[in-house]
Amino acid sequence: MKLRKLVFAVFGLLLLTTSGTSFYRSRHLEEAVVLSPGVSEVKKLGDYFEGIRGTVNDCNIYIMEGEEPGGTVFVMGGTHPEEPAARLAAWILAENAVMEAGRLIVVLSSNRSASLVTRVGGAYPPDFSIPTDWGERTFRLGDRWADPLDQWPDPEVYIHYPSGQFLAFVDIRNLNRTWPGRPDGSLTERTTHAFMELIRQEKVDLFIDLHEAELQYPVISTIVAHDRGEELAAFTSMMLSDMEFNMGMEYSPPSLHGLSHREVGDHSDAVSLLFEAPEPFLDATRGKTTREQLLTGKDEFVVKAGKAGLLFEKMDENGWPVDVRVGRHTSAVLMTMETWSELNPDRPLRCRGVPRYDEIIALGLGHWLHDPSAAPPERVEIE
Amino acid sequence: MTQIQTVVSFLYYLLVAYVVVLLVWNFVRSRKWDEEILYLIVLLPFLLRLFRLK
Amino acid sequence: MFVYAGLVLGVMVAVYIVAKLFKLSTELSMFAAALGGALAGGFGLPPRHIAEGAMTYLDINLIFITATLFMNILKESGGVAFSVRGILKRFHRSRTLLVILLTVLLLLPGALTGAGSVTVLITGGMVAVVLQTMGVSRARTAAIVFIIAGLSAAAPPVSLWAMMTAAGVNMPYVGFFWPLLLPCVFLSLITIFLLGWKGGEIDLEKALAELPRPPEGMGWGKVFIPLLVFGALIFMGRQWPHDTPILGLPLMFSCAAATSFFLSPVKLDFLKISRETIKQLLPLIGTLTCVGVLVQIMTLTGVRGLLAVTVVTLPVALVFATLFLVLPISEAVLMWGAAPVLGVPLILLFNNIGLDPIVALAGMSVIWPLGDALPPTAIIGRLTVDVVGYRENYARFLKACIVPALIIMAVGTLMVVYSARLSFLTGL
């Protein structure tokens, strides 16, 4: 019997060490960022709020000062790291954008903790790679919620600050349910508080939060706009739908609290927008959960759900490749800047070097991801 | 408040450690092979959390 | 993809059946099915996915363990026996009041812990003694304990079926209190009045002689203070959420357990009670852990997607008409695993056709526990007949459950069908 127990224990230990090693590796996988020539300064989130300094969420803040004065736009990627096109679009900005007028602030891992873990029960691959002109770049996939290793336990019910609205207990780790945050709250609440400080201290005029959504979710392929951003979003959506791809526009519901499109606009002078691109990988009806599905966005089961009229976005055998999703985001950001400049000529935002939708589809997004080994070390940052 | 929360988190690790001890104890005392396997399966997530791996 | 996922599903079902034929427990059969699925799907034996799946219900397992530890300490300190004897002495003349109080005793442990088995183990045995002294047959007594234990598990604040399904569709576990509480209380009362109303005069002396005696020094205060501690911690967290540290349910239950331990009039062996709690809970926490692994592998291989897309594209009338059968059967096979595997696509479907997902899920949650008396698992059913001391034919026990079960199925199904009209219950 002792021998039997020993054999079982050895198998158990083997499972523990192999799985544990895999989790450790993905939590410590380093992602390189080759700074665009337009990046004038790299700060840390902790520079804006001491309460986040040195924590896992003390992420990099990439600042691109324009050649001419203008407005300030803040583009946020990584709110939900399991929505990779949002992060990758921000990556393209950080590695390529040069501001001609105004200032661009970019964050790639706004909930860095959530980028270090994959969803339990979700069967996510730990990471994925994008082919480039010189090799490939590997990124962490991440989850929707911060890692419980960084924030534990969850409350019995999450009561949002300051609205007092009841939300799911797990959403206290969801960056897009904790805006505007509070200085002595949970890690995620402190993170959003720090971002609010950044928005106030850097006098951000326009805030854009990049996302992806499952096709069975009604808010998809759209711009969700705060009350003060309705005109901007309406023009942008119209221009995009006319010139590049179909893009909707929705109003941020005043009663839905904790989300960036509501709270950033309510608690700062910035106009807040949220962009959604379609990601079939997030659909509950998806088939095999693989890197291929994540990147090609092809899925027979989701197509079947679409034929039954259950989806809010079209879905066919071509799927939603990551290039298309990233292209939607970069084009939407550029178009928003253009519309902003027309509506606010005193605070223009002009940017060059960033590919639009058609260019990314033609050349692949990897074309705009640069080789860290070929860049000067001082121009490479780690996320 | 942040410091109190850190203490609460630490208490959770203590709680997990206690459950690990109990599971190991019962595993050692168990006489049924299927129960032993089940104890090990249940033990896995507690150990991964205790060692801060997941 | 359809053929591939269908084949993997076939292998999983086959492995499960074979494991069952070899008399493996349901938990291990599910684990074996998960491994079989991963192998058939071409993923080998993926340690990362096995471990990640096993992590899924870690927090729920902690809630289970601490809540049951609390209940066991209360029982060992004589608090439960004291309460049952007190109720019996005070109310033995009024059958109506007595059955209502017995219902509360049966509902409380499961509602707090989310586990019907905790109800059966903590108060089930003692309530059974009282019911039998009231002249209720053993088969009917077992049926009452089983059905109310199931409803107690579905009752708020902790309803695992609702929690797991809600988590699977990114829906907050909020607004469930009344949609779950009202049917659970109402159906429990119907059950106990239907099955326990007929009977003879209560022989108080005999009943008291059969019940365990509480130790000297046990009183109502010692029973209620730990519960008050738990209630106060919940209240503080809700009343002053931004000035109170986040304690989480496991620590709250631990505080209640510690209070009960320190108030106990007899010296308790904490370590021994803890070890026995783990032993007692092994089938349940084992099930949850193995369900996590199974669901992870089903998601990895696309089997979950296949089931989901099949369910959501079925004619709605067919779904409504078969809900009362499909839910208990899925529970009998997968136990709580039925919630993420079947509950998630059903709620997506109901949401898509304009039903209220919260009320619909509450309706489904009252039907699900009925499956806990059915083979192949029948864990709670078997546990109940053991605890109640019913030694006759298992089928007769099932027969005694039929009438209340049919009422529960009808109420649950109507809640789903009319969920949109009942959405006011959510208070949202």
C345 touches chain A (CB under 8 A): yes
Asked whether residue C278 carries a pLDDT value surpassing 90, the answer given is: yes
Helix axis angle for C316-334 and C357-367, nearest 10°, is 50
Cβ separation A301–C302 shorter than 8 A: yes
Cβ separation B4–C61 shorter than 8 A: no
Residue A121's φ and ψ, nearest 5 degrees, are 85, -10
Q: Which of B 16-45 lie inside 8 A of C, CB atoms?
A: 16, 18-19, 22-23, 25-26, 34-35, 37-39, 41-42, 44-45
Can you name the CATH fold of A31-382?
Answer: Aminopeptidase (3.40.630)
Average pLDDT over residues C396-425: 97
Calpha distance A360→B39 (Å, rounded): 52
Nearest CA among C396, C335, C328, C410 for reference residue C115: C335
Closest chain B residue to the Cα of C23, Cα to Cα: B34
A288 touches chain C (CB under 8 A): yes
Plot region of C335 (φ>0 → left; ψ -120 to 50 → alpha; else → beta): left
Contact between residue A232 and residue A247 where contact means Cβ atoms under 8 Å apart: no
Where is average pLDDT lowest: A295-304, C297-306, C335-344? C335-344
Contact between residue A375 and residue A350 where contact means Cβ atoms under 8 Å apart: no
Calpha distance A367→B4 (Å, rounded): 48
Contact between residue A333 and residue A89 where contact means Cβ atoms under 8 Å apart: yes
Asked whether residue C415 carries a pLDDT value surpassing 90, the answer given is: yes
pLDDT for A221: 96
Interface predicted TM-score (ipTM) over 0.95: yes
Amino acid at C323: L
Average pLDDT over residues B28-36: 95
Q: Which percentage of chain C shows pLDDT scores above 90?
A: 59
Closest chain A residue to the Cα of C303, Cα to Cα: A287
The two beta strands, A248-251 and A271-278, are unpaired
pLDDT in tens, chain A (383 residues): 789 999 999 999 999 999 999 999 999 999 999 999 999 999 999 999 999 999 999 999 999 999 999 999 999 999 999 999 999 999 999 999 999 999 999 999 999 999 999 999 899 999 999 999 999 999 999 999 999 999 999 987 788 999 988 777 788 999 999 999 999 999 999 999 999 999 999 999 999 999 999 998 888 999 999 999 999 999 999 999 999 999 999 999 887 889 999 999 999 999 999 999 999 999 888 999 999 999 999 999 999 999 988 888 999 999 999 999 999 999 999 999 999 999 999 999 999 999 999 999 999 999 999 999 999 999 999 99
| Separation in Å, CA A257 to CA A154, A162, A180, A264 | 19, 9, 9, 11
| Higher-scoring residue by pLDDT: A340, C315 | A340
**For chain C, what is the mean pLDDT?**
91
pLDDT for C376: 66
Contact between residue C419 and residue C363 where contact means Cβ atoms under 8 Å apart: yes
The pLDDT tens digits of the residues spanning C203-224 come to 788 888 888 899 999 999 998 8
Asked whether residue C413 carries a pLDDT value surpassing 90, the answer given is: yes
pLDDT for C202: 80
Cβ separation C50–A166 shorter than 8 A: no
The CA distance from C409 to the nearest CA of chain B, in Å, is 33
Nearest CA among C152, C137, C188 for reference residue C388: C137
C-alpha A286 chain-centroid distance: 21
- How does residue B38 score in pLDDT terms, banded at 50, 70 and 90? very high
Asked whether residue C171 carries a pLDDT value surpassing 80, the answer given is: no
Q: List the Cα angle A153/A158/A163 in 5-degree steps.
A: 145
Average pLDDT over residues C114-121: 82
Sign of the Cα torsion C174, C177, C180, C183 reads negative
- How does residue C312 score in pLDDT terms, banded at 50, 70 and 90? confident
- Quickly list H helices, chain A: 2-27, 84-96, 187-201, 230-243, 260-267, 291-296, 300-307, 322-343, 357-363
Average pLDDT over residues C186-213: 89
Nearest CB to B42 within list C66, C245, C286: C286
pLDDT for C288: 83
Q: Which residues of A touch B12 (CB under 8 A)?
A: 152-153
* Chains with at least 3 CB pairs less than 8 angstroms from chain A: B, C
- The total of other beta-carbon atoms located within 10 Å of residue A379's CB is 16
The alpha-carbon radius of gyration of chain C (Å, integer) is 22
Average pLDDT over residues C19-44: 94
Closest chain A residue to the Cα of C157, Cα to Cα: A156
Give the pair of three-digit tokens for residue A139.
Answer: 């990124």
- Quickly list H helices, C26-78: 26-40, 47-55, 58-76
pTM, rounded to two decimals: 0.89
Q: Which residues of B touch A149 (CB under 8 A)?
A: 49, 52, 54
C-alpha A336 chain-centroid distance: 17
The alpha-carbon radius of gyration of chain A (Å, integer) is 21
Return the residue matching tokens 């971002």: A195
Return the residue matching tokens 């066919």: A316
| Higher-scoring residue by pLDDT: A50, C134 | A50
Q: Is A309 helix (H, G, I), strand (E, B) or coil?
A: coil
pLDDT for C83: 85
Nearest CB to A153 within list C171, C241, C250: C250
pLDDT for C46: 97
Q: Which residues of A touch C61 (CB under 8 A)?
A: none
pLDDT for C335: 75
Amino acid at A329: H
